[in-house]
Chain A
Amino acid sequence: GAVVSQHPSRVICKSGTSVKIECRSLDFQATTMFWYRQFPKQSLMLMATSNEGSKATYEQGVEKDKFLINHASLTLSTLTVTSAHPEDSSFYICSARDSLNSPLHFGNGTRLTVT
């Protein structure tokens, strides 16, 4: 089945630093990947849609300069949390699908803690 790899699984950083999270589709090509944020005991909130070779589409209320998304190839999307602050601490999850009508396949998620 389709596998999505996300790294790192856990990261602790100091306030003001930037953190990059990678999302790779291992056995399929993903022209579109999605980035979500999940707070404890809450649902997944779509942050942005990552499109290969073009700019990401951000959801309302998500700062594009804060959460930089790059989709450099058909198998890799990165999310960089710039100048992280404690309120950015959360669980970030990427997902991808290999065609419009196929289900989403999720990475294992990245738990970010900003101290």
Chain B
Amino acid sequence: GQQVMQIPQYQHVQEGEDFTTYCNSSTTLSNIQWYKQRPGGHPVFLIQLVKSGEVKKQKRLTFQFGEAKKNSSLHITATQTTDVGTYFCAGTNNTNAGKSTFGDGTTLTVKP
């Protein structure tokens, strides 16, 4: 079945440093979404990428979707303590009943 691998599992950074998490799917995706989950909370939708090679920005966050629509990345510039949490990618293949497969998540901690 479809697998989505996400690395790294954990990332510890000093406030102000950059951070990147990567997702790779075993199959071509229809779209990919990114979510952020704070400790004790539920996943919150950040963004969806649909087009091959798409790049979207949200303030300090940059999201990319690979040309082959099998990989994606989330990059945070100049991290802040408010960025702490676990970031999940979720790949959707519309031929698979629209189910989304989640990566294992990258947990980001930021040292002030």
Contacts and interface: CB of A to CB of B under 8 A. Distances in A.
Interface of A: 32, 34, 41-44, 46, 49, 57, 93, 97, 100-109
A75 B96 CA distance: 23
Given A34-B99, A41-B107, A43-B103, A101 B44 contact: no
A32 B98 contact: yes
Interface residues of B, number: 24
A103 B45 contact: yes
Nearest to A108: B42
Most buried by A among B31, B41, B45: B45
A61 to B, nearest CB: 12
Contacts of B100: 34, 46, 104
Interface in B54-112: 88, 90, 94, 97-105, 107
A107 B50 CA distance: 24
Contacts of B33: 103-104
Contacts of A108: 41-42
A103 B48 contact: yes
A44 B88 contact: yes
